[in-house]
Amino acid sequence: MFFRKKQKKVDLSRPVPTHIAIVMDGNGRWAKMRGLPRQAGHKVGAEAFRTIANYAKSIGLKYLTVYAFSTENWKRSEEEVDAIMELLERYLREAIADMDKNRVRFCFFGDLTRLSPELQEEARIAVERSKKYAGVQVNFCLNYGGRDEIVRAAQSFACDCIEGKCRPEELTEAMLSERMFSAGVPDPELVIRPGGELRTSNFLLWQSAYAEYYFTDVLWPDFTPEELEKAIASFNGRNRRFGGAK
């Protein structure tokens, strides 16, 4: 006789933020602890992402932004960067093939032009074909840096000024937001960083001005839906004042 593993019941009565962002950190240490090459950690990390994206959809999250590769991660060995890029390609190929099953809308934040033509093409197809899904939107941050994003927004505004479309003193926060990779996406209410580091590492600098942060020592490959629930519970217990005095 077989017993199916009992699924933990999710308390669907609790509020879920609209937008959660995650720094998927700790893959390398996860692998090292097991005497494996760093790449092995990235592979299991990709699986953790798949599980979390599906779970996010099941609890009604609208936006999930994940930091997959930063503008600084090019500093790593060629071997590691190549392995990450290969994994990303494979992940996207599979995501495109399984699209109708998973029904996740894809979006990419970052300068994709530095990625291989194959990866760029897969990203384009993933965005194009998933436009029709109304559930969760996954914003994949690839070759993404918060400062790089702000510089690009400033350059775009400066160009508009030179062309006479607007004047410097007319610039508002909303106008700069519209020039970010995240244009049209509400700011994240909750930013989660697994992996034990207590820093942003250049993630969503503009957008997380009033985000709540949740740090955990759990390494990303070990991050489960239960961990996400813990972060949401922590978020729900906080008093967000936005500078006010409630």
Q: Using the minimum distance from each CB to ligand IPE, give the nearer residue, 17 or 45.
A: 45
Of the candidate spans 23-31, 105-113, 157-165, 177-185, the one that interacts with ligand IPE by CB under 6 A turns out to be 23-31
For residues 193 to 232, the per-residue mask of contacts with ligand IPE, x marking binding by CB under 6 A and - elsewhere, is --x-x-x-x-------------------------------
73 is catalytic: yes
- The helix or strand, by DSSP H or E, that contains position 105, with its residue range, turns out to be strand 105-109
Give the pairing of strands 190-193 and 63-70: unpaired
What residues between 65 and 94 interact with ligand IPE by CB under 6 A?
67-70, 73, 84
Instruction: Note whether 25 binds Mg ion by CB under 5 A.
Output: yes
DSSP structure string for 159-201: HHHHTTS--GGG--HHHHHTTSTTTTSPPPSEEEE-SS--S-T
Q: Quick check: is 139 catalytic?
A: no
Which strand (E) or helix (H) includes residue 42?
helix 38-58
Task: Compare residues 17 and 26 and give the one whose CB is closer to ligand IPE.
Answer: 26
Nearest residue by C-beta to Mg ion? 25
Q: Which residues make Cβ contacts (< 8 Å) with residue 234, sequence separation at least 6?
A: 212, 214
Residue pair 146/70 in contact (Cβ under 8 Å)? The answer is no
Strands 190-193 and 212-215: parallel
Q: Which spans of this chain sit near ligand IPE (rule: CB under 6 A)? A: 23-29, 67-70, 73, 84, 195, 197, 199, 201
| Catalytic residue numbers, as ranges | 25, 73
Write out the residues near Mg ion by the rule CB under 5 A.
25
